[in-house]
Each structure stands twice: as C-alpha cells, then as structure tokens.
C-alpha cells in the first residue's frame, strides 16, 4: 500500500482507511494482484463486500 506523509513522517495506510475509501468512492469490485510463492503473477477480482475479509 502507499504511504501518506504527515509532518514529513510516513504513515501507513490502515485496513480501515482502505475500507472507508472504497465506500466513499462507491467501489463495487476490487482487483487484487500478487505473486505466489513460485513467482507466478496472480490476479483475483472480488466484490467489495468481501474486501474486509480478504485484507
């Protein structure tokens, strides 16, 4: 996730921040991209209703 600078200090984005932003922006689906343990790129699209459980 991206960091937000506050007073010159990095602040990590929390799970709560992500969930709030998704709700405020009317997000319906989220695409998760990651690399598995074998180094193969994976993509999964989930409905926003599953986002809290996924992160």
pLDDT digits (tens, 9 = 90+) for 12-27: 889 999 999 999 999 9
Say if residues 21 and 32 touch (Cβ distance below 8 Å). Answer: no
pTM exceeding 0.85 = no
DSSP annotation of 25: T
pLDDT tier for residue 53 given thresholds of 50, 70 and 90: very high
Reported as half-sphere exposure (CB side, CA atoms, 13 A), residue 29 has a value of: 5
Structural domain for 45, as ranges: 3-54
Measure CA of the first residue to CA of the last residue in the chain; give whole Å: 11
> CATH number for the domain including 29?
3.10.20.70
Give the helix ranges, DSSP H, for the chain: 15-24, 51-54
């Amino acid at each position: 996730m991206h960091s937000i600078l506050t007073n010159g200090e990095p602040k990590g984005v929390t799970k709560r921040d992500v969930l709030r932003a998704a709700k405020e922006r009317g997000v319906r689906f989220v695409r998760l991209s990651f690399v598995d343990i074998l180094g193969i790129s994976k993509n999964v699209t989930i409905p926003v209703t599953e986002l809290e459980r996924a992160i």
